[in-house]
Structure 1
């Protein structure tokens, strides 16, 4: 007897409620204690923020960590501290959140898009080297979905051409490349604590580095241009107040205690789910075994081939899968250079040369991912049980059988 799909009124395959964020009374009590203290902001008491920064640096294996209001600001402060000037070029991938590129524009620099690898959806090192000009000053590799970029190749290129590397690790809390924590390999690493992220306080961000000069500059920029040893009303650099609160810091400290176990669980579930989905004709998990020793799976991504599903469009497949109870999404609708921001050049950025025309940019792999292939499953589902992964595969098989019958 033919099974009825949930989208058509049938029973859902997956009935689990994947809760996020994960918290308990220790989180509530930690925040409540700060509230009762009456010392909520950094000017009142910086001890709790400094404590979390030290803990995060130790987790990452870096000398320094510096909190700020969000991951976007983390990237912006890192780029400015790396010494870019107006008109400089910064190499970025087109398959990422807008902030990876908008911060380049905010710094009056020129985003240069380099296509992604088809097996990982991370920036292609071969394309990076081809895109370098005398104006190139930095590379922002994005460890997309928690999968590490090819950092050996990227760091070799940066050394060859004397470029700064700013790791966008906003998806990669706790993830590793060849045993090194992501965010510790380049000149700077940037993380987000926005509500969907694997480590969260609702909003917030942090920057990691081993370079004392970069740390001091980023610290100044996030603290209204103040410098170590200076007075409260003494401002040396063009900064702003990008500090986080004591309440965010204690919440993050408490959440950090769970991160190691959660990351390992996501890694294990992702590996197991790969073994299930690779058996389904038309479903291809993104590649593993390319240097990542711990995958944080902020998003679990697989490639969908509609020709094996009776030419069912990706958007319809995604709706069917979500109806079956799998928390999923069809991913980015288009690469960043197709966004109105770039097509209409709504930059207010005086240093972008007039001849820069993003309508002429074409990154075929990124476009295929957006329009045809990529389907995302959300990170909180990767904290489920092995049986949940079985159900995800079962839901996809159920859809395939239904559309082919």
Structure 2
């Protein structure tokens, strides 16, 4: 152990001082590069001298799309055509048999859980490292969300820990392709096949991401996508479901349209016992068609820039880009996720590292936290409806089941993000991100004192 620590310290100190290393090619380019100038926080010049691309990207195509709907006076999807056209194009883009547009990514998940009749007494297995919507759609049905710990190297759900989380009450396994990179689908699908449980893919951040050449969302019973303003395909709000199951597609349509299966609403109730209105508007549908003219090129640019950035950051000790699983043939890179080890930065805290990057002109975030320990989630044990359904003992046991130590480590000390619009920039932008981090590393002790 002592030998390993000494070696790590030698590598760090050698890299920071600019000494050429002979311990492996991983550090050579960083160590042999130019000595970084002072960071902004110490009176130097900004590493990022330009401006990252703004988001969203639009032109006259989007203006025409919105005006066409406005002038048509057909603003609702029922009995109209724009959303139908979007669904046809989006299912083709994803290689899916069916697409159903919804009012949000959250609505897509809610629709699929509704179609599966998830309710009180059921459990849904979800990752702990995710946006809170993944949790909310489960609790809105008064089911129990069962958190699974993170694979710290990928930020994804640890597929090896899914099966131990399954009980007789488990109704659905709902992995998330967080940040736009696929979860370990081979392992997850094998668990679904073994347990005969449906897999619902939360692909809300993963537009056009691929696993072994096939678009995510096609592997489980259904896949959910979001078109919220920050997403790689954007209509302000909006969502979609893709599925290759005819019956499931129809059940989802019924549920999202007040239980009524046709392309209109009527005065009489529909089929089933539950439904709601989660429809997309014609404005959003036509806006998405315009936005889709750019999405393939933008996806490829993000992927290429992310790969280049990873190559640069892999040369910086203490910075570790999130691992992509072997089956990943394309990541959407809605988020560029990486880990920060402050021991390679003379103990500079993550928050000060983020602030120093910000002053270099580079936005950065620590990302999601320990949602399983947040009061918003832990408060469920005292929710009167849950206590009525499950009882105090079951709710307290549920809280104990949701311990996720690897995620605690990841989110408490290491996790960092860059944002998707940054990856629409140039190779120079990526080089300047790496240069900023090198500057911060070299001058970490002085930065620590100044911030």
TM-score calculated relative to the size of structure 2: 0.86
Check if 1:385 corresponds to 2:426.
yes
Check if 1:356 corresponds to 2:395.
yes
Task: Give deviations 1:178-227, integer Å, cap 9, x for gaps.
Answer: 01101111101001100000000000111111112211111111111112
Task: Give deviations 1:312-362, integer Å, cap 9, x for gaps.
Answer: 111111121122111211112x22211212212165445344322355332
Q: For the residues of structure 2 that align with 1:375 and 1:68, how far apart are their CA atoms?
A: 31
Larger Rg: 2
Gaps of 5+ in 1: none
Check if 1:298 corresponds to 2:334.
yes
Check if 1:285 corresponds to 2:321.
yes
Q: For the residues of structure 2 that align with 1:191 and 1:9, how far apart are their CA atoms?
A: 44
Gaps of 5+ in 2: 1-34, 447-451
Check if 1:365 corresponds to 2:365.
no
Q: For the residues of structure 1 that align with 2:36 and 2:434, how far apart are their CA atoms?
A: 18
Structure 1 equivalent of residue 246 of structure 2: 212
Q: For the residues of structure 2 that align with 1:51 and 1:340, how far apart are their CA atoms?
A: 43
The counterpart of 1:153, out of the listed 184, 187, 196, is 187
Write out aligned runs for 1:309-388 (5 A). 309-332=345-368, 334-345=369-380, 347=383, 348-349=385-386, 350-354=388-392, 355-357=394-396, 359-360=399-400, 361-388=402-429
Q: Give the direction of change, closer, same or farther, for the CA distance of 1:166–1:352 in structure 2 (3 Å limit).
A: farther
Write out aligned runs for 1:245-284 (5 A). 245-284=281-320
Q: 1:84 Cα deviation (Å)?
A: 2.4
Q: Give the direction of change, closer, same or farther, for the CA distance of 1:229–1:11 in structure 2 (3 Å limit).
A: closer
Give 3-state SS (helix, strand or coil) of 1:248's partner. Answer: helix
Q: Which has the higher helix share?
A: 2
Q: For the residues of structure 1 that align with 2:117 and 2:418, how far apart are their CA atoms?
A: 38
Q: For the residues of structure 2 that align with 1:203 and 1:228, how far apart are their CA atoms?
A: 24
Which of structure 1's runs of 4+ aligned residues deviate more than 6 A? Answer: none
Q: For the residues of structure 1 that align with 2:341 and 2:438, how far apart are their CA atoms?
A: 13
Q: For the residues of structure 2 that align with 1:390 and 1:183, how far apart are their CA atoms?
A: 33
Give 3-state SS (helix, strand or coil) of 1:164's partner. Answer: coil
Structure 1 equivalent of residue 65 of structure 2: 30
Q: For the residues of structure 1 that align with 2:216 and 2:295, how far apart are their CA atoms?
A: 14
Check if 1:48 corresponds to 2:79.
no
Say if 1:147 and 1:297, in contact at 8 Å, map to a contact too. yes
Q: For the residues of structure 2 that align with 1:294 and 1:397, how far apart are their CA atoms?
A: 28
Say if 1:227 and 1:235, in contact at 8 Å, map to a contact too. no
Quick check: 283-292 or 259-268, which moved more? 283-292
Check if 1:307 corresponds to 2:343.
yes
Task: Give deviations 1:134-179, integer Å, cap 9, x for gaps.
Answer: 1111111000101101111111110111101110001100110001
Give 3-state SS (helix, strand or coil) of 1:307's partner. Answer: helix
Say if 2:334 and 2:420, in contact at 8 Å, map to a contact too. yes
Q: For the residues of structure 1 that align with 2:175 and 2:338, how far apart are their CA atoms?
A: 21
Quick check: 81-90 or 380-389, which moved more? 81-90
Say if 2:257 and 2:265, in contact at 8 Å, map to a contact too. no
Q: For the residues of structure 1 that align with 2:296 and 2:202, how far apart are their CA atoms?
A: 20
Structure 1 equivalent of residue 94 of structure 2: 60
Say if 2:183 and 2:325, in contact at 8 Å, map to a contact too. no
TM-score calculated relative to the size of structure 1: 0.95
Q: 1:3 Cα deviation (Å)?
A: 4.0
Q: 1:130 Cα deviation (Å)?
A: 1.0
The counterpart of 2:138, out of the listed 84, 104, 107, is 104
Q: For the residues of structure 2 that align with 1:230 and 1:306, how far apart are their CA atoms?
A: 58
Q: 1:118 Cα deviation (Å)?
A: 1.7
Q: 1:35 Cα deviation (Å)?
A: 1.0
Task: Give deviations 1:6-63, integer Å, cap 9, x for gaps.
Answer: 24554321132321001111111111121122221123x4211011011111111111
Q: For the residues of structure 2 that align with 1:183 and 1:240, how far apart are their CA atoms?
A: 23
Q: 1:289 Cα deviation (Å)?
A: 4.9
